[in-house]
Amino acid sequence: MNDKNKLACNVNPKTTTLQRSFNEVREGRYIKFLLWFVGGMGGVEILCIFLLWFFFVRSKNNLDARVYNNISIIGFRKFSYSELKKATKNFNQEIGRGVGGVVYKGVLLDERVIAMKKLAEANQGEEQFLAEVSSIGSLNHMNLIELWGYCAEGKHRMLVYEFMENGSLAEHLRSNGLNWSKRFDIALGTAKAWRSSHNIFKAVHSLGGIGGTIITHEQVGKTFW
């Protein structure tokens, strides 16, 4: 009996149970730490992405606002594609053509006659297009035709000018309707208009380059882009 009691006293199952419990607690804390760490890093990444997106959108909106404000200050009107399509009778009356695009004659609802240049290529986005329109609109020269507005809708890019009734310089030169003195004055005025656009050459080039020179009733040459 004594031997059996001694054997019974030597058995201690609690020791094994305590050891397992201690290991489980350590593993549980480690897993919780990993989960907290991974979750924290994920939260930081999400916060960084949100901040980058926020500042990008805000800077883009500020840039768009500055461009639209410049357009508004200069006084340009934004025309819709359907409005210009109706004004030109579905782009029916072509009055000029060049590398940069085609020029059509049209009549607005307020009965103003326009010359509308439809750009051949519209690779630039609306933001870039508006910046270029703002650049050329900042020019003020007696030998430049007044720009009234623009259209930037989808892939369509158009410029709307005041229409000059007296025909192009090429037509007057072919008809010999200009004497040499007038020709010299027109050439000089055109050169001055080109010189005034030297600082915005990139914008002029993107909008199709120099469109041509029109002769007014006073036999003054006026250039449009």
Question: What is the full DSSP assignment across 145-167?
Answer: PPEEEEEEETTEEEEEEE--TT-
How much of the chain exceeds pLDDT 70, in percent?
Answer: 54
CA dihedral 206, 192, 71, 84 (to 10 degrees): -70
Strands 221-224 and 212-215: antiparallel
Bind-site residues for ATP: 117
pLDDT tens per residue across span 156-168: 889 898 888 777 7
Can you give the pLDDT at residue 35?
Answer: 62
Find out whether 88 and 116 touch, Cβ atoms under 8 Å: yes
pLDDT tens digits for range 88-106: 999 999 988 876 788 899 9
Annotated binding site: 117
CATH of 77-224, one of 1.10.10.10, 3.30.360.10, 3.30.70.920, 3.30.200.20: 3.30.200.20
Contact 141, 160 (CB under 8 A): no
Phi, psi of 3, deg, nearest 5: -65, -40
The 10s digit of each residue's pLDDT in 109-131 is 999 999 998 887 666 677 777 77
Tell me which of 96 and 24 has the higher pLDDT.
96
What order of strands is seen across the sheet that includes strand 101-107?
77-78, 147-153, 156-162, 113-119, 101-107, 94-97
